Amino acid sequence: SQIIFERWANARFKYRNRSFWARGYYVDTVGKNTKKIAEYIQNQLKEDREYDQLSMDFEDPFKDYTIEKKRVNKRMKR
């Protein structure tokens, strides 16, 4: 990445921390074994599943509140 930033100086504005790392993307160039890479990917999938369990489905808080109920409440206040 240092060579890229030396050749293309404007890239530093797009990649401020001088790295090309992205979550969920792994590249290694120095012949690491495939077992380590597979473990890394498995851990990423496990982490994603854990985050999916934390998310909640949206439920409309006003689903039972109709216009008729609103009109009745206004009449009762008068």
| pTM recorded for the entire structure | 0.26
Asked if residue 44 has pLDDT above 80, the reply is yes
Per-state percent for the chain, helix, strand, coil, to nearest 5: 55, 5, 45
Q: Which of 15, 26, 40, 65 is catalytic?
A: 40
Asked if residue 55 has pLDDT above 70, the reply is no
20 Cβ contact list (under 8 Å, min separation 6): 1
Asked if residue 7 has pLDDT above 70, the reply is yes
Q: Domain segments of the chain: what residues?
A: 21-61
Q: Which of 20-24, 37-41, 60-64 has the highest mean pLDDT?
A: 37-41
40 catalytic residue (yes or no): yes
